[in-house]
Every structure is written in C-alpha cells, then in structure tokens.
Structure 1
Amino acid sequence: MKQLIRFIAAFFMALALVVIVSCASTPKQEGMGEYVDDSVLTTKVKAAILNDPSLSSAEINVESFKGKVQLSGFVKSRADIAKAIEVTRAVNGVWIVKNDMQLK
C-alpha cells in the first residue's frame, strides 16, 4: 500500500514538474503569463492610438513580445509616425518601440 502511495505521489510530482517546465519562457518563445501580459499590452497600445484623434488607427498594426512593441502599417506623414511612437512609449509596460511604419 505504501508503495502505491509513493508511486502516485511521484507520478503527480513528475506531472507538476512537466507542467511547470512547459509553461516556462525561452528567449524566442514566451510563457503563458508573458503571453497574457503581451496581449494586454497590445490592447493598451491599440486603445491609446485609437484615442488619439490625430492618428488613423485603422492602418497601424501593433504587436508585442516581452514588452517590446512593434508598430507597422501605413501613415500619412512623419509627424504621424512620431506621434504614434510617442503615444506608444507613454503606455505603462512598454520597454522598447520598434517602428516599421511606412508613409503612404
């Protein structure tokens, strides 16, 4: 009976270890918690850009990975690029802004 209990305990400990390791992040892949954080960050940046009346947010794409935000898409002027970067940097949680926006 004691062996069965030890076997079950060892099985569940091994299972827990596998689950914990599989949720960990690597340099090229984010863990589950980071994925959720980046989704929230992307949403915050999109909302900030949408709330700025001078920007055409429909043509600005936002992607996040571990606090790094990439802006891409098309804008009308260099001033719009600068404004989008400024708005993005003001969002809490943004570490780096990468600009891939292009002029129309």
Structure 2
Amino acid sequence: MKTSLKITALLALLTGGVLSLSTGCAGTATQQSTGEYVDDAAITTKVKTAMVRDEVVRAMQVDVTTFKGNVQLSGFVDTAEQKARAEQIARGVNGVTAVTNNISVKAAAE
C-alpha cells in the first residue's frame, strides 16, 4: 500500500510540475517559450557547426543568434563570398525560418 501511495504522490508532483511549466512559459512576440529557446539554441549550434565544416566561411568571424527560428548573422569577414556563403549555410539548416545577414566585409588594406 505504501508503494502505490508513493507512486501516486510522485505522479501528482510530476503532473503539477509539467502543468506549471506549460502554463507559465508561453512565448510572446518579444519572449521565447522554453521550447522555442531550446529549438533556437539547437538551430544556432547547427548553423555554427555547418560553418565550421565549410571551407569558405571562417566560422570564428561570424556570430549567429537565433530568435524564434529567425537567424541573425553578424561579424566581419574577409570577402563578399564568405558573407554570401554564411547566409547560404544558415538558410540550409532545418528549422530556420528567415536569415538576416548583418555581416560586414572588411575593407581591403591599401
């Protein structure tokens, strides 16, 4: 009898925790839900990983930020080709809904 009471108490505790998470963490236009935050972190990681593997983009020069599936690229790269390739990579990642490319191309030294 004690075991079933412990299981019931554990289920009640778990259910209460899940309910409070699902009702207290809804996303808004300016805030992410917990699920969106986790999804965006995964997207950012996938974009950065793809850039590291690419031979054109210098991944350490590009910052990637994701908010609700929208990826923003920033930083300074050496060539226009690197800027375009970074955007192409980001657009190819599953879950990306839009890409804003704010990468700047460094001016060539004279």
TM-score normalised over the length of structure 1: 0.81
Change (3 A) 1:16 1:87: closer
Aligned to 1:71: 73
Shift of 1:69: 0.2
Aligned to 1:83: 85
The number of equivalent residue pairs is 93
Q: What are the residue-to-residue correspondences of 1:1-104 with 2, within 5 Å?
A: 19-104=21-106
Shift of 1:18: 5.1
Distance 1:79 1:70 in 2: 18
Distance 1:68 1:43 in 2: 14
Percent identity (aligned) = 42
Shift of 1:64: 0.2
CA RMSD of aligned residues (A): 1.9
Aligned to 2:3: none
Change (3 A) 1:16 1:103: closer
Structure 1: segments with no counterpart, 5+ residues: 1-11
Structure 2: segments with no counterpart, 5+ residues: 1-12
Distance 2:92 2:26 in 1: 29
Shift of 1:19: 4.0
Distance 2:18 2:79 in 1: 53
